[in-house]
Amino acid sequence: MKRIFHPVTVTLLVVALILALPFLFPKNPLNVPSDRMLRHEALSHNLLPVPKDRSGMLKWTDSGENPVTEAKVALGRALFFDPRLSRDRTISCASCHILGEGGDDNRPTAIGYHGQANPKHLNSPTVLNAALAKFQFWDGRVHTVEEQAGGPIQAPFEMNMTPEEVVARLKKDPQIVAAFERVFGEGNLTFSNVRKAIGAYERTLLTRAPFDDFLDGNDSALSPAAKRGLALFLSRGCKGCHTGMSVGGQFVKRFPLRRYFFDYLGIDPKSWRVKKDEIPFDNVGGFTGRGGSYFFRVPILRNVARTAPYFHNGAIKDLHEAVRIMSKYQLGREFTPAEINDTVAFLKSLSSEIVDYGY
């Protein structure tokens, strides 16, 4: 039986059809609702404004297991900046969590004791607004800032101390001993209370941004581009993972969620190199999330414009490229350059300084 179409012809027709699909089925134009409706939709999806005053802050961050008091916050602040918590007395919590730089260190990977890099090439998540998150660390293995505070102090490639060494060193300082007695009672200079004091201080490190003013009713707080970006954020699915007052940190989710033709082939289409895992960029360090399952803590997006580079290993320097990757591999619908610009405009509206709650 004579063939009607040559296989090459059929292949070319199929390729042409695939390439024509975006034109045959164009994307629906973005419908940006009124300011009132945009605000209502954001609030209804738990994107809440950061409180302006101390009572509002305590409502969201105070812990029944570790009540926030002025004396405890003052002690925690002193410990947060104290290099004595590191073996060589050169590193403090503030070394990797620079409060004036978005709460991180803007490095691809954290650098610790004797210049050691994190062995999995993990970077430092922001400490700002971390108390609002339900999961800490890139694999989400702990749930509170108090639990998190003890990790870097003990990690051999970070501050490289033991709880016993921390306590012994601090007990040599009469002022620190007196501060612990005022806060926790006599004889209670313990490593557990070191973590509690640092955690109490971190619970006050919230930031209010133009986005919060918009949520509070100020229509002019966001630019038209940022409002379009917020509409995209809400309508395309970003809000499903990046939610809560912290705009993230509430879940541990799979990344990448979607895979494409070259991913299944195990090839990077840009470099044509063989890929070792599913991560859609150079996965320096080889970290693949919780238990190697590609589940990562959803990052906090507040101050994200100030916390480059991005993703767990800092492989992506540009926020626009980070948004493109997320739209493609998490949402399954790669944003256009205009949509990326608008989304970045919204993300920039999440940047601000730490609120002064009078501590």
Which of the residues are catalytic? 158
Cα 246 off chain centre by? 9
Q: Residues 149, 93: contact at Cβ < 8 Å?
A: yes
Secondary structure of residue 270 in the 3-state scheme: coil
Tokens of 358: 């009078």
Using alpha carbons, select from 199, 226, 224 the residue that is nearest to residue 305: 226
| CB-count burial class (<10 Å; 0-12, 13-18, 19+) for 117 | middle
The CA distance from 302 to 299, in Å, is 9
Any residues with CB less than 8 A from the CB of 195 and at least 6 apart, and which? Answer: 146, 147, 149, 150
Region class of 114: left (phi > 0), else alpha (psi between -120 and 50), else beta = left
